[in-house]
Structure 1
Amino acid sequence: MLAVCAYTGGYAFFETSFLAASPEVRAAQNAFIESPVMGSTGAEGKCVTFSYSMDGLSAAGLRVILHPAPEDNVPGAFDRVLWSTKDPTNKKWVETEILYTYNTNHQIIFEAIAKDSTDAYRRYRGYVAVDNVARKPGSECRGHCTFESGFCGWRNDEEDDFDWSL
């Protein structure tokens, strides 16, 4: 089971079925990709874009986590899940973007999640793949809109009970 239509080049791939020999290792066998430590996003924020593909019975999900830089030792700092999915993509690549802000040093972590080792489906094939990861200014997120000069391509649902106004 391999995702098709990846753009040119390689991509990160995690096989989620049983791989390790010992039960101790299998119990918490997820895969992580960590960015370098990055500085503050500023008020505009940053936009993380990526493509992912996920399929098979042993794949449980994909999460994108904001992780405070460990060397900063900021009191009260904790990991934040910026985005997550559990839905298979049926061997297709799905493009995603995340707009976020953070005022100090941090990392972005992709976590590919396998079914728990006690789950009967864990023995079946599955995968999570990530490709085309980029970080750009927050204003470049396609879904981002300040509504300063209109609806930015968003539309008001005329059939609901209430309407948005600018």
Structure 2
Amino acid sequence: MRTRSLAQLDQAALRAAGQRAESGAAGCVGAATTAPYAVFATTDCARRMLRRVLCLKRWVAISCQADEVHPVAEGAVGQALRLRISGGDSPREFLAAYDEDRRFALSPIAPCPHCAAQVPTVCVTSLADYGDWLHSTRELAEFPLYRTSPAHRDDCPIPHQLPGTRPCS
């Protein structure tokens, strides 16, 4: 996918988030898109899910590989899957893993605000959720691996604080 196409994806996500906000629809932020244990974490399943959530065309190339850092679920043996939509200098990366309800879920990967490590951020279940995340206009549910991500640096306060709290300055 070209850089221009990635910008169009972001613009479509922001439009979808704006339309949802104007309509007053609550959305299903944080809710996963599959029934518990409905799918096994495979690369094909993860690609299909990302295409469905972001309304991507079939020709959009999505690379997928096992994530070397994150487990597929808290305490699980298998690895989560890292999905990448390439395009110039700023590819989009997502982590596909099971949420706390054992539903397959997606999260954009972005720098931690405290240590800059690349970590999963929030659950996205629709193009509008992705737009809200890009625009930071709505509180989105934290992805279960956000706080426990081994990618955080040792001095990062995020893994040591409870959800909804801020580290001391």
The TM-score with structure 1 as length reference comes to: 0.24
The TM-score with structure 2 as length reference comes to: 0.24
* Structure with bigger gyration radius: 1
Q: Which of the pair has the greater relative contact order for Cα pairs under 8 Å at 6+ separation?
A: 1
Structure (1/2) with the larger strand percentage: 1
Structure (1/2) with the larger helix percentage: 2
